[in-house]
Chain A
Amino acid sequence: MKQFITSMIILSLAWMSLTGCTKKKDLEADTLNLALSANVKGLDPAQAGDLYSNTVIAQIYERLFSYHYLKRPLSLEPRLADGMPVASKDGLTHTFKIKKGIKFQDDAAFPNGKGRELVAQDFIYAWKRVADPNVNSEGWWIFDNRIVGLNAWRDGMKDGKVTYDTVVEGMKATDSHTIQIKLIKPYYQLYYVLAMNYTAPIAKEAVEKYGKEFLNHPVGTGPYMLKSWVRNNKLELVANPNWAGQTYPTEGEEGDKEAGLLEDAGKKLPLIKKIVLREITEDQPRWLNFMKGNLDVAAIPKDNFDSSVVAGELTDEMKAKKIELIITEDPDVTYTAFNMDDPVLGKNKKLRQAMALAYNGEEVIKKFYNNRAIKAHSPIPPGVDGYEKGFSNPYKKFDVSKAKKFIEDAGFPEGKGLPTFEFMAGSSSTSRQMAEYFKENLKTIGINLTITQNSWPQFTKKIRERKGQIWGIAWGADYPDAENFLQLFYSRNASPGANGSNYENPKFDALYEKAALLPPGEERTAIYQQMRDIIVEDSPWIFGAHRLGYAVKHGWLKNYKPHRIIDDKMKYYKIDKDLKAKLKAKL
């Protein structure tokens, strides 16, 4: 027994002496330190479904197109493509040239470990992977029923009748650096889609070498390479010496020059050689680490807002630390959805409108977004083609007396005769709090809610099985086109598709199908707005807000201009080392 105790003492002493040396390792000065608020799942472009995996993939892989870093509204520019593509008159055939001399990063998958040149076949291979049912890519929707012969190839893969070598009519490499795409019908979102990570070229050798572990061995053509990855903790990226390179843009939008965003114009990218991405899921540690200078930039969690921002500006205390506030318009919409299949909610337009009128949108924005959002009048957010500034939704007004009148017109004076509805909230505190507030709002016109909290799988399951009644959710843009939002009301997308409200309106459907065949332009925008008006009148949703991204960054981080859709951004960032040494000492 004594021995036991002695050994325990020795053990604990050893342990304490180890922990005693808490001397801080100096953070390398020229390293970008960022936080991801959820864990990265894997780094296979075909599986780039979630925001955080996507963020990392975008630094390692490149696509045919990307967006100009500074210009707003977003403007597409060629990345791996050599100039913009050539389209046939009917808009069905598109020919893409790809740049010569682009190399994959060095990797053991290649002969001698040296990265080989990128060819057109690498794109075709990657796109077929997205279509391959065995790869089970979340991105299949971007090609589904769009490209001649691809759906047939996909079905063929299920029965093992075709292979990757089988040529797909609508997706061919006509020579080593030319790709030809043939569409079934016009698809004007094609170029946007080709700026998404799903379509990044992939070297067949790498997939063959790593097999299912390919998701942990990214082999890209981009500015950075994965150096190490401690799962659920952090990823380290380093500059890729094989990268073909790019220079910092020389022009931006108004105000960029004043903001110092053009100081590095024309310089060779990337400006930072090493990136450390930490996966920190809880708000408190993320915020405290930023305040200590361990992170260069952090989104302000809702509840840190009051202590750091006053009337849209940072507090003096924060300013003294040279911390800067960055506000961006995120192309997204939050909304409260009604299940149109519900016998009471689905049949009563007036009832839905009454609920929309009772919803105090301004107060929600104040309480839950700290004014970091603008009121949504329609599903189409700013920065997206089809958005109309100044458009006003007649039901997007907090007007209790009008709401009371509407509910009377609907046949339920003061809510009499209405059942208690179930409102589905998520499992987080914020989601619950917002639900509580909505409940209070509806109480004023006599409507009762019970709130249930659901884990994300339960939440999606209920919506997909059409079992939900009312719920709160949001949609973020995949690309800057209103079509991406209006598809949420198309009846063929009803549950289990993305149209969780199960909204069905033949008139809307006809317009949707018509707009899909039109090129961007006034005619299409007019139809988008017609569709929007139908939605606004039918009110299958209560529109919430278009959120503004509020981030704080330390003074030493330069060239920081975020946008939700621009993901290949870290190559532009720069750290002012001297300033960092000076400022960090004071934190």
Chain B
Amino acid sequence: MWKYVVRRTLYMIPILFGVTLITFLLFNVAGGDPAAQMAGKNATAERIEEIRVLYGFNKPIHMQYLDFVRQIVTFDYGRSISSKQKISTMIFGESPELSPVLTSLSLTLPAFLLTLLITISIALVLTVKRGSKLDKSVMVICLALLSFSSLVYILVGQKWLGYELGIFEISGWDPSWTERWRYLTLPTIIFVILSLGSNILFYRTIFLEEIFQDYVRTAKSKGLGQKVILFKHVLRNAMIPIITLVVIQMPFLILGALLTEAFFGIPGLGGLIFQALNEADFPVIRAMTVLITIMYMVFQLITDVLYSVVDPKVTLK
């Protein structure tokens, strides 16, 4: 097993190489001109040239890529070229309360877990009652929920629930752990509704696939009750696809939800990426991409290890 973990970790290197190469090429070769951006509205040609030299934008492209690789290895991403803030602080914050990563997570993680709980429960019920009126109508509702754009939920939710009815805060943020939930309620509800439809459909399919397997027939013929079969066998066997989906989504949770963060004024990473893109702030984009890549790979590894835990048939080699 440890051998496997080491091998998988080493496998991260070519992936990281690919990701950095793609982001580097896409943004540096074809993106905006950061020097022109930094020079501001009263720029002159000399100023722009000076900035190029100061930040090394005048170096040949492969040298710039090597600088980037050096940053990845040393975990030192320097400063944003737009706000001149330290990138590690921009991502991780000065304290846990002010950390954009944790801010994004405090929106997405509870919402994600809540979605998981709700959707798995509903999917189980639907599996038991498959083919019934309930099953059909819930399915239609799910598909209907999926058919609206996320922007519509945000706009209407904010105007109607936040402003007209005044049940929730319209927008805003409070970094304190005990106060932030006030501002998170509405965005969380919207997040859950947004992911409800697709998740219920997904889990229902998974459970249905399991329920027609031979082992279920065997269990039934042994005279086991529906509940036992469902919880002990079906759910357990469905764990692999569930874990796959859950873990794959995890690293992206720290990215927050771009639109939700923008409209509710939640200072997480979603807004940071958006801003960085709008300002040709390549150092920030690069740092974020590398961060997500590493998270993604780590979670992949966790998935594989979890597989072998839930399913003895899977061996890691």
Contact = CB atoms under 8 A, between A and B. Distances in A.
> How big is chain B's contact interface, by range?
35 or more
Given A8-B116, A41-B84, A457 B48 contact: no
A229 B266 CA distance: 14
A456 B54 contact: no
Highest count of chain A CB atoms <10 Å: which of B33, B155, B275: B33
A411 B272 CA distance: 51
A410 interface: no
Interface of B: 31-34, 36-45, 47-48, 50-51, 54, 79, 82-86, 90, 93, 98, 100, 110, 113-114, 116-117, 155, 158-159, 162-163, 166-173, 175, 178-179, 181-182, 184-185, 188, 231-232, 235-236, 262-267, 271-272, 275, 277-280
B214 to A, nearest CB: 21
Contacts of A302: none
A279 B279 CA distance: 17
14 contacts: A11-B113, A12-B110, A19-B188, A21-B182, A42-B83, A138-B40, A215-B84, A230-B267, A280-B172, A285-B263, A289-B171, A457-B37, A458-B32, A496-B36
A333 to B, nearest CB: 13
A15 interface: yes
Nearest to A141: B42
A233 B267 contact: yes
Interface residues of A, number: 62
Given A231-B267, A456-B278, A282 B262 contact: yes
A1 B230 CA distance: 11
Contact of B263 (A47, A284, A475): A284
A304 B54 CA distance: 45
A294 B173 CA distance: 13
Contact of B114 (A12, A144, A285): A12
A394 interface: no
Interface string A58-76: 0000000000000000000
A136 interface: yes
Contact of B184 (A19, A44, A231, A475): A19
A292 interface: yes
A297 interface: no
Interface of A: 1-2, 5, 8-9, 11-12, 15, 18-19, 21-22, 25, 39, 41-42, 44, 47, 49, 133-134, 136, 138, 140-141, 144, 212-213, 215-216, 230-234, 278-282, 284-285, 288-289, 291-292, 294, 427, 455-458, 460-461, 464-465, 475, 478, 493, 496-498
Contacts of B33: 457, 460-461, 464-465
B172 A278 contact: yes
Given A279-B265, A427-B278, A497-B45, 6 more contacts: A2-B231, A22-B167, A138-B42, A230-B267, A456-B37, A457-B33
A455 B185 CA distance: 32
A232 B113 CA distance: 26
Contacts of B162: 288
Given A230-B267, A232-B267, A288 B163 contact: yes
